[in-house]
A = this chain, B = another copy of it.
């Protein structure tokens, strides 16, 4: 059975896995495991490692880690801190898997449109990163109290309607000049279920096709296209409008689209208080990334 028919539009590998399971689809090559931490945090891992699994899921081969915490959406302070630490730990582990240098150079890219609130997550995360590359380059690592400091730079490429360029073109050009060891992208994602909005973080080593969650077709920001590994981090902040309806009436996306205004394509559903959510989550992401990149001893022990 074709995945297209039943997989509602989602950027979360976890939701794709759930859909396939529900539909009794052939799952060879799609592996799944889950662990429960304190504070109600659930960390699940989906790996896609066969051509069959790629076809079934419509996703590239790779590893997808999801950190879920329902209380995150309520802004619970303690939960936020626990999720931040878990994000830092998972990111460190992804970095180790793609880069064997002890001290490295990372480029963090904040994807999305700063002027559309639920899409501003990436740009706003980069706004609060601890940027070190220019200081390391000019004064050396001794400029910092911690000599193990990594070189971190950040880019907010904007969206095609603003720049006339694919994100990939901009990032590719910058990577070829700046030559980071790897790229980390931050993006707002589309989920299938309202319950995952604002309380789920996905990390993957497959890179990302920007805007794929809401129906765009762009070239992927990934190792193949950039020549360096790409770790993609995302949090769902919207649901595709067609998905909302098809899920409610239990119909396929295609049949639903017929029921509805054609204008609904390219629309998204988001909560009214999305400004507060994006502000909080951009802060959480930047803190988790800063922690992962800081290389200080405390973190080394804690692993």
A259 in the interface, Cβ–Cβ < 8 Å? yes
- Chain B residues contacting A214 (CB-CB under 8 Å) are 272
Q: How many A residues touch B, CB cutoff 8 Å? A: 62
A245 in the interface, Cβ–Cβ < 8 Å? yes
Instruction: Please encode chain A, from 215 to 253, with 1 for each CB lying within 8 Å of some chain B CB and 0 for all others.
Output: 000000000000000000000000001001100110000
Q: Name A275's closest neighbour in chain B (CB-CB).
A: B115
A269 in the interface, Cβ–Cβ < 8 Å? yes
Q: What DSSP secondary structure best describes chain A's contact surface?
A: helix
Say whether B269 contacts A267, CB under 8 Å.
Answer: yes
| Distance from A168 Cβ to chain B, minimum over Cβ atoms (Å) | 9
A266 in the interface, Cβ–Cβ < 8 Å? yes
**A–B Cβ pairs within 8 angstroms, 24 of them:** A115-B275, A131-B162, A132-B164, A133-B164, A134-B160, A134-B165, A151-B164, A152-B164, A153-B164, A154-B163, A155-B158, A155-B163, A156-B158, A169-B178, A173-B177, A176-B177, A194-B264, A195-B261, A245-B248, A248-B260, A264-B269, A267-B270, A268-B269, A268-B271
Known interface pairs A131-B164, A245-B245, A248-B256; 11 further A-B residue pairs with C-beta atoms within 8 A, sorted by A's residue number:
A115-B275, A116-B275, A134-B161, A153-B165, A169-B177, A176-B176, A245-B248, A248-B249, A249-B249, A266-B272, A270-B270
